Amino acid sequence: MTGGGLLVAGTTSDAGKSVVTAGICRWLVRQGVKVAPFKAQNMSLNSFVTREGAEIGRAQAMQAQACRVEPTALMNPVLLKPGGEQSSQVVLLGRPVGELSARGYHGGRQQQLLGTVLECLAELRGTYDAVICEGAGSPAEINLRRTDIVNMGIARNAGLPVLVVGDIDRGGVFASFFGTVALLSREDQELIAGFLVNKFRGDVSLLEPGLDMLHDLTGRRTYGVLPFRHGLGIDEEDGLRISLRGAVRESEVSSPFGEDVLRVAVCAVPLMSNFTDVDALAAEPGVVVRFVDRPEELADADLVVIPGTRGTVRALEWLRERGLARALVRRAAEGRPILGICGGFQLLGEQIEDDVESRRGQVEGLGVLPVRVRFAREKTLTRPTGEALGERVDGYEIHHGVADVTGGEAFLDGCRVGRTWGTHWHGSLESDGFRRAFLREVAAAAGRRFVPAPDTSFAALREEQLDRLGDLIEQHADTDALWRLIESGAPQGLPFIPPGAPA
C-alpha cells in the first residue's frame, strides 16, 4: 500500500518551503501519523551526515527531526554542492559521483536521475503513512521544465498534489500565485491544488478579499495564512544569502547569565558551508554572533570563527586579499581566541596540497597551526564521538582534506596551539557541556565576565522551534483540507488558466 503525499512548492526561492514542510511534518507526527520528508534534488552547501555515512541537505535532516525519525539518504537522493558560479559536486544517495557544470547537469544528467529519485520516493511511501516533499525554486521555471525532477516533474510522475507557498512579506504575492499557475501546462496545472500565504503581518480580514478574488481567478483555494514570526528558520540551504551585518537567524540575544556579553565574529568566507555550526553559540544567552568580511571587524571580537567552506584555497586567497589573513595571524600571536572548523581549520595550517578541489597543488597556509593538509579524492563522511575539555562531544565530518597534525595539543581530530583551536568536526558546539567549557575558556582569554547559562539545551531549543512550526500549521492552516490533499490527491476538475506553458 502506498502512503499519501504532498509537494510543497514555492513562488520563489526562499518563500518558506523548508519551514512549511517541517511544520506540516511536525503537525502530522503529533496527530500520530508516521511521516517522512523528501526533497528529490537539493542545492546546498549546508549538509549533514546520516548514521549510515550518507551526505544529505541539513534542511532534510531537520525535517526528519520534525518527523521524529532518523534521516536517511532516501530523503534527499540528489544533493548539489556549488563549487563556484559554473559547477557543482553531485552527491547521489549520499556519495559524491563527480563535478558537473550547470549546462552539463541540466543538459541530460538530471533527467537520468529521475528513475533513482522516483524509486527513493516510492520506497518512502511504501514505509510511511505520508511523505511531505519539498520543491526547489519555483515550479514555473519554464527554461528548466523539460529536465525537472524536483517540482512538477516529480509531482506528475508520482501523482502528488501541489501546495504553492508565497512570501507575502516580499510583496506581489497574488501576481506570483496567479503567474505560477498560468505558466504551467494543462497537465501540471491539474495538480496545483492551491496556495499557502507565508509571513503575513497585520489583520487577516484585510487580506481575505484578495484571497477570494484569487479563488475566482484560478479556481483554487488558499489553505492557510501563516503569520510572520521571528527566528523560525530551520537550517537554511544556502549560506551565500546570509546578511553579513545581521545576527544569526534574526535571533534576539538574551540577557547574559554573567555580567558581560561575548562577541563572536564569523568570517564570511566564499562558498561558506555548514555555517549552522555557529547557531549553537547564538543560542547561548549573552553571546552575540555576527558575520564579518573586514579586518577591523575582528578588533572587538572575543572569538573569531572561520567556518567550513567548499573552497579552502579560494577562501585563503579571499582572506589575504581583504587583509583578514594578517589580522588572524596577528590575533593568534596575541593569544586571542580563534576557532577553525573544517575548511577553516585547514587554512590555519602550514601547507595545503590540493589536486582535488581547487587543483592548485601546493599552497601555503596561514601557518598558525602545525598541520599539513592533503586533499584526497575520497570524501570523509563520518559521525565521530569523542572528548574535549573534559566533556563528551558528538560531531560529523564532511571533507576531502586529510590533516597531518605534527604538534600542538590534541583537540578532537585536530589540534590547539595557545588560544587557536582547529578541528574537522562540524556540530561539536551542539554538545552542551563542551560548548559551555569552550566558552568559559574563551571568556577567560578575552577577559570577559561572561558565564555560560547552566541550563541551555540546544537540542531542546530545536525541538521547541519545530513545535512552534507545527503550531503555526495547526493554528493557521485548514488542517482538515490539508489532510484530504495528502490522503486523496488534488481536487478533480481544477480549471486551466491560460496561457499555460510555452510550446
DSSP letter for each residue of 279-296: HHHHTSTTEEEEEE-SGG
Q: Can 120 be counted among the known catalytic residues?
A: no
- Terminal C-alpha separation, the chain: 37
Q: Summarize pLDDT for 417-437 with one digit per residue, the tens.
A: 999 999 999 999 999 999 999
How far is 345 from 395, CA to CA, in rounded Å?
15
How far is 294 from 296, CA to CA, in rounded Å?
6
pLDDT of residue 2: 78
How far is 350 from 370, CA to CA, in rounded Å?
6
pLDDT of residue 76: 97
pLDDT of residue 16: 92
Residues 6+ apart with CB under 8 A from 28: 35, 67, 130, 132, 486
Residues 6+ apart with CB under 8 A from 187: 156
pLDDT of residue 106: 59
CA atoms within 13 A on the CB side of 211: 17
Res. 278: pLDDT tops 50:
yes
Q: Which three cell numbers stand for residue 283?
A: 543560542
Q: Can 106 be counted among the known catalytic residues?
A: no
Question: Of 132, 184, 141, 142, which is closest to residue 163 (Cα–Cα)?
Answer: 132
pLDDT of residue 249: 39
pLDDT of residue 246: 36
Question: Of 224, 201, 203, 221, which is closest to residue 212 (Cα–Cα)?
Answer: 221
pLDDT of residue 350: 96
**460 φ, ψ (degrees, to nearest 5):** -65, -40
Residues 6+ apart with CB under 8 A from 318: 269, 270, 324
Categorize the per-residue pLDDT at 88 as very low, low, confident or very high, splitting at 50, 70 and 90: confident
Q: Summarize pLDDT for 20-54 with one digit per residue, the tens.
A: 999 999 999 999 999 999 999 998 888 999 999 99
pLDDT of residue 118: 96
Give the mean pLDDT of the chain.
91
Res. 324: pLDDT tops 70:
yes
Categorize the per-residue pLDDT at 334 as very low, low, confident or very high, splitting at 50, 70 and 90: very high
pLDDT of residue 236: 55
pLDDT of residue 258: 78
Residues 6+ apart with CB under 8 A from 468: 229, 232
Categorize the per-residue pLDDT at 104 as very low, low, confident or very high, splitting at 50, 70 and 90: low
Res. 407: pLDDT tops 80:
yes
Categorize the per-residue pLDDT at 255 as very low, low, confident or very high, splitting at 50, 70 and 90: confident
Res. 126: pLDDT tops 80:
yes
Q: Summarize pLDDT for 339-393 with one digit per residue, the tens.
A: 999 999 999 999 999 998 888 899 999 999 999 999 999 999 999 999 999 999 9
How far is 466 from 29, CA to CA, in rounded Å?
11
Measuring CA to CA, how many Å separate 51 from each of 36, 72, 292, 316, 396?
16, 8, 33, 32, 10
pLDDT of residue 235: 58
pLDDT of residue 112: 81
pLDDT of residue 233: 62
Q: Summarize pLDDT for 180-237 with one digit per residue, the tens.
A: 999 999 999 999 999 999 999 989 999 999 999 999 999 999 999 999 987 666 655 5
151 close to 158: Cβ distance less than 8 angstroms = no
Of 342, 400, 415, 424, the catalytic one is 342
Categorize the per-residue pLDDT at 247 as very low, low, confident or very high, splitting at 50, 70 and 90: very low
pLDDT of residue 275: 84
pLDDT of residue 105: 61
pLDDT of residue 253: 57
Res. 240: pLDDT tops 80:
no
Instruction: Work out the average pLDDT over 457-461.
Output: 93
Of 399, 400, 424, 426, the catalytic one is 426
